[in-house]
Structure 1
Amino acid sequence: MSTTPTADLSHAGVSIWLDDLSRDRIASGNLSELISTRDVVGVTTNPTIFQGAISAGIGYEEAIAAQASKGATVDETIFSLTTTDVRDACDIFRPIYDASNGVDGRVSIEVSPVVAHDTEETIAQAKALYEAVDRPNVLIKIPATKAGIPAIAETIAAGISVNVTLIFSLERYADVIDAYLEGLERAHSAGIDLTGIHSVASFFVSRVDTEVDNRLKSIGTDEATALLSKAGIANARLAYELFEQKFAEKRAQDLVGFGANVQRPLWASTGVKDPALPDTLYVTELVAAGTVNTMPEKTLQATFDHGVISGDTITGNYADAHSVIDGLAAVGVVIDDVTQLLEDEGVSKFIASWHDLQGTVDAALKDAAAR
């Protein structure tokens, strides 16, 4: 029986989610086609994705004109456009959501990055987005900043499923897991059915290699050169090790006994930045049961075309992953410094995309109003 690499990946226990969404992708049938031919079972979005989609303009003209006619503000228009896209995508994925008991068939939408360091505003936006989309298969994305950690707990406690994004360090990932468990404990105490609460923890991969490799090249020794393009995968593998450890502990297992779901690790930023690397690197080297890989379409198509899925490539490689991190420290690359820089940059880049999106929508509203 013939199969495909994306089918092999799914059979290995990895859920394939597309890291992109637009109104054109929905309306043209492209999203449905990727579900049927590329084993896609979910979608993630972020401010940069929406900025690209809406600035392209395809499919948004009537909606923006309608917003202009009723005097909507820029932020009100963005809220309307993005929640509509996510709602429509949720409807497309609903059969997968139902068939998987809520594990997959998920569509993520992120709180505004400008509130990434404001706990109360993050909570308020998370609840507003959840109510506006009004679909059980939506995931609200909350960044794993220090201010985001208590917001994650509060949102989960309210019974809202969460995609925790912009995780780079193991230390912060441990905080994310603890926040998820705290939220579940509070939800259980409030009488909320835990079986309906799901979460993924989005651990970023390729950006780690980009930053670390720049530092290794500056060092330039043989020891440093030998570590090139190894940090991202090692860091992610150690995240999976931490996931296994934390969810085997009594606190988590007690909640599972009450019907709770584990918070699945999700590999994000899996498009290869260095053209010298294999274009499926962050897919084939991060295979383990119970994970999600959210891919840009280019990576998805590369995986379908020539990805080689050889089973679990994570759990047997913990010792090697620890060796890579130790090797980095030995040549002067402190992974904690790298991950904090990447978190700060990640928030800043999303804020810049958000401001670009505001500018695009403002111009479109003014143009529509002048007609």
Structure 2
Amino acid sequence: MSELLGKLHESAVKFPMTDIWMDSCGEEELNYGLERGIVGATSNPIIVGGVIKNELSTWEPRIKELIKELPEATEDEIAWALIHEIGALRSKKLLPIFEQYKGLKGRLSIQTNAKYYRSAEKMIEQALVLNSLGPNMQVKMPASAAGIKAMEEATYNGISINATVSFTVAQAVAVAEAVERGIARRKAEGLDCSEMAPVCTIMIGRTDDWMKKYVANTGMVIDPECLEWAGVAVIKEAYRIFKERGYRTRLLSAANRNHYHWSSLIGGDLAQTINYSWYKRLNSCDVEVKSRIDEPVKAEYMAELNKIPEFHKSFKEDGQKPEEFETYGEFRSTLATFIGGYDDLCKLIRGLMI
């Protein structure tokens, strides 16, 4: 890859410690990203539903085959059979990277059922199945109180986790501490941890979304530009804490809404998952590719953000307790979106079953 194919490719080449992932498991998207230096990918039922719609000529016949092969299966069981199949198939595209980096890169994140967010037991049970789909799987679970418990157990069982539905420093620290406990238990039993690659997603664009909703709903008057920096401020604070404490877990930024969500994190020892649409937009932009991870958010923006009570919950390490994670506004909104996306996938399958 001697020729640079856009800004994200340039970023991947110049700053290989800042991993670029594709926020999709679609064949077109993965091929595009792999040509431009991605080293990971993410999926969830919404993404899988989008892949099926985009690749309908491939997957509609397969769904019909599954319906015949599994005559007693419910639409939910067909949905998960399909999610498993797509995940296992598309993870193979990342295997060369996984092997090159000895498990530390080249993984496909695959998500547990969002409806299980209150049950650690159900998430662990499903995580074990998802992890068995390929050597380079990474299992996503929501950063709820039950999810934090599940992440410790999954880590103990040798599963590389990806915490999702996460927006705050408090969630990120809770995730990292859970992983540390799981790894410590493995090491105490002499179990290998060398190829484990846990990450904690902070959906920084959705953190911004929630600040904007809160400001609008309460009638606050805030400098609108500062609202584009809330998520960046949160992930930079989490990054500072992670580096100081030497956590094994790496941060993963997600949910791009502006170029700051990429450009402000260049040079960091973290990962960024970027959807296909934003990937193309950023690839063709004229933003300079340089390290900005150590540049703080402007003081005037922080002063404005600190006027917002919900920002304190997002930014402060003690801003929330684990039992409060589920009450955070964007947690509710995002979880509802994920569950809605899963329901849409089931509806698509239902249309072919009935």
TM-score class, shorter-chain normalisation, is 0.7 to 0.9
Q: Is structure 2 residue 91 aligned with structure 1 residue 114?
A: no
Q: Is structure 2 residue 46 aligned with structure 1 residue 48?
A: yes
Q: Is structure 2 residue 231 aligned with structure 1 residue 232?
A: yes
Task: Indicate if the aligned counterparts of 1:216 and 1:224 stay in contact, CA closer than 8 A.
Answer: no
In structure 1, what is the Cα distance between the partners aligned to 2:117 and 2:267?
30
Task: Indicate if the aligned counterparts of 1:117 and 1:145 stay in contact, CA closer than 8 A.
Answer: yes
1:300-338 deviation line (CA, Å, top 9, x unaligned):
1122212534432122316x47x7455323355544279
Structure 1 pair 349–226 and aligned structure 2 pair: CA distance change class (3 A)? closer
- Which residue identity does 1:234 align to in structure 2? A
In structure 2, what is the Cα distance between the partners aligned to 1:337 and 1:263?
19
Deviates more, 1:323-332 or 1:69-78: 323-332
1:142-186 deviation line (CA, Å, top 9, x unaligned):
111111001000000001111111211111111101001011011
- Which residue identity does 2:304 align to in structure 1? G
Structure 1 pair 288–65 and aligned structure 2 pair: CA distance change class (3 A)? same
Structure 1 pair 126–332 and aligned structure 2 pair: CA distance change class (3 A)? closer
Structure 1 residue matching 2:109: 3-state secondary structure:
strand
Q: In structure 2, what is the equivalent of residue 285 of structure 1?
A: 264
Q: In structure 2, what is the equivalent of residue 329 of structure 1?
A: 306
- Which residue identity does 1:124 align to in structure 2? E
- Which residue identity does 2:273 align to in structure 1? T
Q: In structure 1, what is the equivalent of residue 7 of structure 2?
A: 5
Structure 2 residue matching 1:40: 3-state secondary structure:
coil
Q: Is structure 2 residue 336 aligned with structure 1 residue 357?
A: no
Q: In structure 1, what is the equivalent of residue 195 of structure 2?
A: 196
Task: Indicate if the aligned counterparts of 1:188 and 1:194 stay in contact, CA closer than 8 A.
Answer: yes
- Which residue identity does 1:127 align to in structure 2? L
Q: In structure 2, what is the equivalent of residue 369 of structure 1?
A: none
In structure 2, what is the Cα distance between the partners aligned to 1:333 and 1:195?
38
Q: Is structure 2 residue 253 aligned with structure 1 residue 267?
A: yes
In structure 1, what is the Cα distance between the partners aligned to 2:130 and 2:267?
31
Normalized against structure 2, the TM-score is what?
0.87
From 274, 281, 285, give the equivalent of 1:295: 274
Structure 2 residue matching 1:104: 3-state secondary structure:
coil
Deviates more, 1:228-237 or 1:207-216: 207-216
1:99-133 deviation line (CA, Å, top 9, x unaligned):
122222111110001101111000001011112x1
In structure 2, what is the Cα distance between the partners aligned to 1:43 and 1:58?
23
Q: In structure 2, what is the equivalent of residue 257 of structure 1?
A: none
In structure 2, what is the Cα distance between the partners aligned to 1:309 and 1:82?
38
Structure 1 pair 107–331 and aligned structure 2 pair: CA distance change class (3 A)? closer
Q: Percent identity?
A: 23
Structure 1 pair 285–316 and aligned structure 2 pair: CA distance change class (3 A)? closer
- Which residue identity does 2:149 align to in structure 1? P
- Which residue identity does 2:342 align to in structure 1? W
Structure 1 pair 41–202 and aligned structure 2 pair: CA distance change class (3 A)? same
In structure 1, what is the Cα distance between the partners aligned to 2:8 and 2:165?
25
Q: Which runs of 5+ in 2 are unaligned?
A: 316-324
Could you list the runs of 4 or more consecutive aligned residues of structure 1 that deviate by over 2 angstroms after TM superposition?
Answer: 1-4, 29-34, 51-58, 213-221, 223-228, 307-312, 323-335
Structure 1 residue matching 2:194: 3-state secondary structure:
helix
Q: In structure 2, what is the equivalent of residue 21 of structure 1?
A: 25
Q: Is structure 2 residue 291 aligned with structure 1 residue 312?
A: yes
In structure 1, what is the Cα distance between the partners aligned to 2:267 and 2:330?
25
- Which residue identity does 2:275 align to in structure 1? P
Task: Indicate if the aligned counterparts of 2:25 and 2:47 stay in contact, CA closer than 8 A.
Answer: yes
In structure 2, what is the Cα distance between the partners aligned to 1:187 and 1:364?
45
Task: Indicate if the aligned counterparts of 2:22 and 2:29 stay in contact, CA closer than 8 A.
Answer: no
CA RMSD of aligned residues (A): 2.3
- Which residue identity does 1:52 align to in structure 2? G
Q: In structure 1, what is the equivalent of residue 76 of structure 2?
A: 75
In structure 2, what is the Cα distance between the partners aligned to 1:181 and 1:325?
31
Task: Indicate if the aligned counterparts of 1:203 and 1:267 stay in contact, CA closer than 8 A.
Answer: yes
In structure 2, what is the Cα distance between the partners aligned to 1:329 and 1:15?
30
- Which residue identity does 2:189 align to in structure 1? A
In structure 1, what is the Cα distance between the partners aligned to 2:88 and 2:3?
35
Deviates more, 1:195-204 or 1:357-366: 357-366
Task: Indicate if the aligned counterparts of 1:144 and 1:172 stay in contact, CA closer than 8 A.
Answer: yes
Task: Indicate if the aligned counterparts of 1:108 and 1:138 stay in contact, CA closer than 8 A.
Answer: yes
In structure 1, what is the Cα distance between the partners aligned to 2:268 and 2:103?
17
In structure 2, what is the Cα distance between the partners aligned to 1:120 and 1:299?
36
Deviation, 1:293, is: 0.8
1:218-254 deviation line (CA, Å, top 9, x unaligned):
6454x5446332212111211211211221xxxx5xx
- Which residue identity does 1:120 align to in structure 2? E
In structure 2, what is the Cα distance between the partners aligned to 1:80 and 1:92?
20
Normalized against structure 1, the TM-score is what?
0.83
Q: In structure 2, what is the equivalent of residue 255 of structure 1?
A: none
Structure 1 pair 226–283 and aligned structure 2 pair: CA distance change class (3 A)? closer
Structure 2 residue matching 1:147: 3-state secondary structure:
helix
In structure 2, what is the Cα distance between the partners aligned to 1:83 and 1:351?
17
In structure 2, what is the Cα distance between the partners aligned to 1:332 and 1:118?
30
In structure 2, what is the Cα distance between the partners aligned to 1:107 and 1:82?
12
